[in-house]
Amino acid sequence: MGDHHHGPAKGLSRWLFTTNHKDIGTMYLWFSFSMFILGGAFAMIIRAELFQPGLQLVEPGFFNQMTTLHGLIMVFGAIMPSFVGLANWLIPMMIGAPDMALPRMNNWSFWILPPAFLLLASTLFMEGGAPAAGWTFYAPLSTTYAGPSVTYFIFCIHVLGLSSIMGSINIIATVMNMRAPGMTYMKMPLFVWTWLITAFLLVAVMPVLAGAVTMMLMDVHFNTSFFSAAGGGDPVLFQHVFWFFGHPEVYIIILPAFGVVSQIIPAFSRKPLFGYDSMVYATASIAFLSFIVWAHHMYTVGMPVAGELFFMYATMLIAVPTGVKVFNWISTMWRGALSFETPMLFSIGFLILFTIGGFTGLMLSIAPADFQYHDSYFVVAHFHYVMVAGAVFSMTAAIYFWLPKWCGRMYNETMGKTHFWISFIGFNLTFFPQHFVGLAGMPRRIPDYALQFADFNMMSSIGAFIYGASQILFLYNVIATIRAGDIVTDEKVWDGAEGLEWTVPTPAPYHTFETPPAVKG
Amino acid sequence: MTSQTSTEYEKYYVPEKSRLAICATIGLMLSIFGAASVMNDMTFGDPNEASSSWTIFYCGMFFFAATLFSWFRTAIRENIAGMNSAQLKKSYVLGMFWFIFSEVMFFLAFFGALFYVRNLVGPWLAGEGDGGRMNGMLWPGFEYAWPMMQTPQEAVGGAASQLVANSGTYISPHTSMAFADAHVWWHWLPLWNTLILLSSSFTCHVAHLGILAGDKKKFNLWLGITVLLGIIFLCLQALEYYEAYVEFGLTLNAGIYGSTFFMLTGFHGFHVFMGMTMLLIQLLRSVIGKQFTAEDHFGFEASSWYWHFVDVVWVFLFLFVYIL
């Protein structure tokens, strides 16, 4: 423990024992990408089965396991950890901190994830197969009718929750305590702001999910009756507890994506972000509203009319702060000196497609209309527009944007743009037709469908294969960049980029800001 | 521009490398795999088949506990060695605060379930509201009261005669935990438990005042009393559970009343155990390790916050589980 810090250790121990936020960020990113590939493979099985009507490739029970694991792995394994990885890499550099506030716990937050997902994936090979009740695992499907694998699943959720809570506490402590002198709250980059608010949401709702799965565990093994009407409980209670977690969870996924886009669009518009203050307040408003809208996932469950109305109006209110954000991004680009490098393309793709997803969300928020849309492919289309074109597109943009800073090498721009256009076309080909089949009445989570949906489903499947294949190109581009990309040495990799992370050398040294930088007034 | 110069800045200690996280991961994963397997053996397994689930669970827990011990020891030694700047200490404060907040939210899930069941589900099952007619057909004769002394299943004459899919047999208690069933007030254990836990929060605060004044003797004495009160609380809680199971017929499968009662009080009791253990460790650190000064006693302070949190949860439990 000398006065000067050492570089990274050699070999495997660097990764196993590390306390360095950049190492941990890198591990989170690679882990989430591998989960993205695994969850994507499950999606390919789903789309292959749905390529034509009739039972083609897999058993219906296995199909259900695929939809369940696809959802769980994408939400908890791919998207959430990817943004935690980004937070690890960037937050200390953006606020001028030497590392995360609690570095050893940071490492633990990461290392419990891979074994937890290994256990979850291993349920595929257990007697009775993997959990098959959907990623929302509603009771009693997940309790009364569940097999032994549900127990492992429940404990996995506990571990994932633990990881998220520790990760979030770390982020909150870092942002509240480690800002360089002069880095006031209202000077923080928007990515830091959105992550601070996301971390609050995580600390607030992951324990509620833990409560929900604990009630399941007790119902399955100890004969309690939380979700059994015969004992005075209610299966709908599960949905309330689950969605009290689940709706803020949606914003946990999308708020960091908002943050990323709010960094990238100004950089390639060569203008400061339009309406910084309103962006912060809009993010906080969305976070607040996310706690009082959960039952809009449950309109058809038989709630009293007063409940339906309350949740409908509260949900519609979210469109206001979200609209503020969308208009701010557009205003940032207005009369800017725009250029369209890959990160910008993905950000604009995000902006357009996320807005479509937002509008379909508004349609779904209308309680009487939702009676038609509920549990149809329209819902599938809606949340893939916000999850994939929202969260995943912005994550992809983030990788292209910051990768040169991280490794000191520039990615191949042509390949990046190709990746964008194939993704954009593949994505829309997959999910746009699903709006139509959904409105026409095709239910979600089924391995077979009526003949009139055949054409659109075939389009969807072809689109999915294209989108899936484009990720291989992405992986290749990232690896090629790290190994042999053109060297960049400018601190500011992008001429329009602003923020402390662009003031350190490129590639970013192992330790940055061991003494806090001066933040300009 | 308000920046410190590098000479003024007290370096934030970032540990170089640590095996703690990996060891804790191994311990935790073995524990949960063991625990899940134990439960599956119990519910789905063949009772005649030998199983190593308990062994895996115990090994995991032992390894996990040993790692945590080592982890906290490391953190304490770093602090004693003067490696913790004021800024790092604030990180620990924030960490503890938000950890307690997450615990509050965990309890909120169970309190929320209790409110939902008591105010909405119960009356609906008894035929009120929009779905009343259907529930009236499913559970004829069910009348809602809290504590629920007859489940809908029992109202229709048992598991065999209920119309919906059967997921278990629920047998209601004949005596509830409510005050009305205690007959004489000094037989009512929750009242004693409330007095004990509230006083323990008070004694904990006195201990805090003691250490703030640098009076180690006062600190040790009052902290010892706090730990003792915590142990008495846990003993009474165990007695209450014994009474519930053996004398009242109130069990985990007594329907939703038993479910909410045992989950809320059970998780609270577990947290009391955790808090008591934390305080006990602080006591040992103070008495045996001669640690803590008027300025530096965060281990105790964090444990005391936890203790007050557990106390507040109990106040709500007393109100909503026992009284109302």
Q: What is the pLDDT of residues A432-467, one digit of tens each?
A: 999 999 999 999 999 999 999 999 999 999 999 999
Q: Is the pTM of this model over 0.90?
A: yes
Residues B189-193 have a mean pLDDT of: 93
Q: Which domains does chain A have, with CATH numbers?
A: 27-502 (1.20.210.10)
Angle at A477 (CA atoms; ends A476, A483), nearest 5 degrees: 90
Q: What is the pLDDT of residues A505-514, one digit of tens each?
A: 999 999 999 8
Q: Would you state the pLDDT for residue A7? A: 77
Residues A487-516 have a mean pLDDT of: 94
* Mutate which: A88, A228, A236, A240, vs B, most B CBs within 10 A: A228
Least confident of A121-130, A416-425, B202-211: A121-130
Mean pLDDT of chain A: 95
Q: Are residues B99 and B234 in the same domain?
A: yes
Residue B98 in any domain: the answer is yes
Q: Would you state the pLDDT for residue B8? A: 67
Instruction: Nearest chain A residue to B75 by CA: give it.
Output: A104
Mean pLDDT of chain B: 92
User: Which one, of B180, B106, B104, lies nearest residue B149 by Cα?
Assistant: B180
Kind plus residue range of the DSSP H or E element containing A335: none
Q: Would you state the pLDDT for residue A9? A: 82
User: Which one, of B258, B259, B242, lies nearest residue B250 by Cα?
Assistant: B258
Between A147 and A190, the higher pLDDT residue: A190
Residue B27 in any domain: the answer is yes
Residues 6+ apart with CB under 8 A from A2: none
Which residues of A are known catalytic residues? 70, 99, 135, 163-164, 247, 249, 251, 262, 296-297, 322, 325, 444
Q: Are residues B96 and B52 in the same domain?
A: no
Residue B30 in any domain: the answer is yes
Q: Would you state the pLDDT for residue A503? A: 94
Q: Are residues B225 and B77 in the same domain?
A: no
Query: Is the pLDDT at A426 greater than 70, yes or no?
Result: yes
CA distance to partner chain B, nearest, from residue A158 (Å): 9
Question: Is the CB of A229 less than 8 angstroms away from the CB of B139?
Answer: yes
- Contacting A residues, span 130-169, partner chain B, CB-CB under 8 Å: 140, 143-144, 147-148, 151-152, 154-156, 158-159, 162, 165, 168-169
Residue B165 in any domain: the answer is no
* Strand partners of residue A248: none
Q: Are residues B45 and B100 in the same domain?
A: no
Q: Would you state the pLDDT for residue A2? A: 41
Least confident of A88-92, A454-458, A516-520, B62-66: A516-520
Q: What is the pLDDT of residues B139-189, one digit of tens each?
A: 999 999 999 999 999 999 988 888 887 778 999 999 888 887 777 778 889
CB atoms within 10 A of CB A256: 27
Q: Are residues B99 and B45 in the same domain?
A: no
Question: Is the CB of A172 less than 8 angstroms away from the CB of B12?
Answer: no
Q: Which residues of chain B are within 8 Å of residue A107 when distances are taken between CB atoms? A: 18, 21-22
Match 């190492």 to its residue by tokens.
Answer: A23
Question: Is the CB of A19 less than 8 angstroms away from the CB of B139?
Answer: no
Q: What is the pLDDT of residues A163-186, one digit of tens each?
A: 999 999 999 999 999 999 999 999
Q: What is the pLDDT of residues A219-256, one digit of tens each?
A: 999 999 999 999 999 999 999 999 999 999 999 999 99
Distance CA B238, CA B241 (A): 5
Q: Would you state the pLDDT for residue A521? A: 61
Query: Is the pLDDT at B137 greater than 60, yes or no?
Result: yes
Q: What is the pLDDT of residues A316-344, one digit of tens each?
A: 999 999 999 999 999 999 999 999 999 99
Q: Are residues B206 and B314 in the same domain?
A: yes
Residue B75 in any domain: the answer is yes
CATH number of domain containing B227: 1.20.120.80
Distance CA A351, CA A345 (A): 10
Q: Are residues B243 and B271 in the same domain?
A: yes
Q: Is residue A517 a contact partner of residue A98, using CB atoms and an 8 Å limit?
A: no
- pLDDT level of residue B4 (50, 70, 90 thresholds): very low
* Mutate which: B25, B120, B151, B156, vs A, most A CBs within 10 A: B25
Distance CA A347, CA A190 (A): 15
Match 């009082």 to its residue by tokens.
Answer: A292
Question: Is the CB of A155 less than 8 angstroms away from the CB of B35?
Answer: yes
Residue B163 touches partner A, C-beta closer than 8 Å = no
Residue A54 touches partner B, C-beta closer than 8 Å = no
* Mutate which: A28, A113, A225, vs B, most B CBs within 10 A: A225
Q: Are residues B179 and B310 in the same domain?
A: yes
Residue B69 in any domain: the answer is yes
User: Six-digit token pair at A138?
Assistant: 């509603």
Residue B296 in any domain: the answer is yes
Q: What is the pLDDT of residues A264-300, one digit of tens each?
A: 999 999 999 999 999 999 999 999 999 999 999 999 9
Cα-based torsion angle of the residue sequence A45, A50, A54, A55 in order, rounded to the nearest 10 degrees: 10
Query: Is the pLDDT at B2 greater than 50, yes or no?
Result: no
**DSSP 8-state symbol, A9:** P
Residues B231-248 have a mean pLDDT of: 95
Q: Would you state the pLDDT for residue B182? A: 76
Kind plus residue range of the DSSP H or E element containing B178: none
Q: Which residues of chain A are within 8 Å of residue B49 when distances are taken between CB atoms? A: none
Q: Are residues B189 and B296 in the same domain?
A: yes
Match 């492992």 to its residue by tokens.
Answer: A152
% residues pLDDT > 90 (chain A): 95
Q: Are residues B179 and B76 in the same domain?
A: no
Domain total of chain B? 2
Residue B109 in any domain: the answer is no
Question: Is the CB of B91 less than 8 angstroms away from the CB of A517?
Answer: no
Domain that residue B32 falls in: 20-81
Q: Would you state the pLDDT for residue A6? A: 64
